């Protein structure tokens, strides 16, 4: 199952709004003989890819075991039902990491397999599988995309000097990591303050672009300059002040992941409304020591530490002299 999860993760940025799924076929002794993954939206699902790998290797899957990271689908969509293909392949056992909550599946695939006499085990590496597809699961459950807030700060927590100058707090390798992130999300959101201060492009450059993100500007007072780079780019969504409605619209239009690159005002609003899921903080070896330097989050009023927004650390990575902290917002 962990090999299937590894394969599934290779689809990140290419399969959305579908979930990332991997599958492996193994003999009774546990030896993996074939594998597959959902590689691109609209393409074969992981189970079909694994069966195709069996055929390419001259392996008869009858009587073998398949481990798959998500319940096989039971409905006709862009591809035929995977559950039917597994039944026709006469596999003896299917091990499933987690049930697919999508309403057209939601246990029906597992029921089909069991009714056909195939042994099905559910829940192997379920926690890892849910973490892998946390963005997909959120969109299915709430109708909202997964929201990632990113910033780079000095060690004393400042994202810019008092003048607004921020080039460059982070190192070149960290900035490349941001471009890789832009290259796999569905949308990039910023605020009008950032546009007026920096005139950003919010594009992925110098990396493998897995999907072209839509740019979104939150501009409640209609201040977006006609000659700024985002206005000239086209296909930019200009939003009023209702950020939740904007996020819901993006999800309805197929967005699974939204990256927020903004100042403290918009970031603070998103956190205050409970709309942020993940915080990626690049902490860099610089100190400003200036009370008037700019903070990554503003606008929250809390009188006690107990009222603070709680985060859960999921990952720490050193990038040269910078450190990337990966948090989830606790609900």
Task: Please list the active-site residues.
Answer: 47
Instruction: Report how far residue 239's alpha carbon sits from residue 245's, in angstroms, rounded to the nearest whole number.
Output: 9
Beginning with the edge strand found earlier in the chain, give each strand of the sheet holding 119-122 in spatial order: 32-37, 22-26, 65-68, 93-96, 119-122
Whether the CB-CB separation of 146 and 259 falls below 8 Å is answered with no
Query: Which tokens hold the place of 276?
Result: 């942020």
**Number of residues that this document lists for the chain:** 331
Residue 312, beta-bridge partner list? 328
- For residues 70 and 95, the answer to whether their CB atoms sit within 8 Å is no
Query: Taking the C-alpha atoms of 229, 231, 234 and 240 in order, what is their torsion angle to the nearest 10 degrees?
Result: 130
Q: Compute CA distances 124 → 5, 31, 103, whole Å.
A: 11, 17, 22
- Work out whether strand 65-68 and strand 93-96 pair parallel, antiparallel, or are unpaired: parallel
Under a CB-based contact definition with an 8 Å cutoff, are residues 21 and 28 in contact?
Answer: no
Rounded CA gap, 43 and 111, in Å?
24
Using CA atoms, how far residue 66 sits from 63, 96, 263, in Å, is: 10, 8, 47
Q: Are 11 and 23 in contact (CB under 8 A)?
A: no
Of 96, 91, 90, 52, the C-alpha closest to 73 is 96
| 3-class state of residue 68 by DSSP | strand
The token pair that represents 266 in the structure block: 């918009």
- In the chain, the N- to C-terminal Cα span, in Å, equals 28
Report which of 46, 43, 40 is spatially closest to residue 24, judged by C-alpha positions: 46
């Amino acid at each position: 199952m962990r090999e299937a999860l590894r394969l599934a993760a290779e689809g990140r940025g290419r399969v959305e709004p579908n979930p990332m799924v991997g599958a492996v076929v193994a003999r009774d002794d546990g030896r993996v003989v074939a594998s597959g993954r959902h590689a691109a939206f609209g393409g074969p699902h992981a189970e079909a890819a694994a069966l195709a790998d069996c055929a390419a290797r001259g392996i008869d899957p009858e009587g073998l075991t398949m481990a798959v990271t998500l319940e096989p689908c039971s409905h006709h969509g862009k591809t035929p039902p995977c559950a039917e293909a597994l039944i026709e392949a006469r596999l003896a056992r299917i091990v499933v990491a987690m049930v697919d909550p999508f309403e057209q599946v939601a246990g029906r695939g597992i029921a089909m397999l069991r009714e056909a006499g195939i042994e099905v085990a559910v829940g192997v590496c379920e926690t890892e599988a849910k973490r892998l597809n946390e963005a997909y699961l959120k969109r299915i459950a709430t109708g909202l995309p997964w929201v990632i807030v990113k910033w780079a700060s000095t060690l004393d927590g400042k994202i810019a000097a008092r003048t607004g100058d921020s080039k460059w707090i982070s190192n070149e390798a960290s900035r490349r990591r941001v471009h890789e992130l832009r290259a796999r999300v569905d949308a990039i959101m910023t605020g009008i303050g950032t546009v007026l201060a920096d005139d950003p492009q919010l594009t992925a450059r110098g990396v493998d672009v897995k999907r072209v993100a839509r740019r979104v500007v939150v501009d409640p007072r209609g201040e977006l300059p006609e000659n700024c780079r985002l206005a000239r780019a086209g296909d930019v969504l200009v939003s009023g002040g209702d950020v939740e409605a904007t996020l819901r619209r993006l999800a309805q239009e197929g967005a699974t992941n939204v990256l927020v690159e903004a100042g403290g005002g918009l970031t603070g609003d998103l956190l205050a409304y409970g709309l942020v899921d993940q915080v990626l903080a690049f902490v860099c070896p610089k100190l400003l020591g200036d009370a008037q330097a700019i903070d990554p989050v503003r606008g929250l009023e809390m009188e006690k530490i107990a009222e603070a927004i709680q985060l859960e650390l999921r990952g720490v990575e050193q990038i040269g002299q910078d450190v990337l902290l990966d948090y989830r917002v606790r609900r």
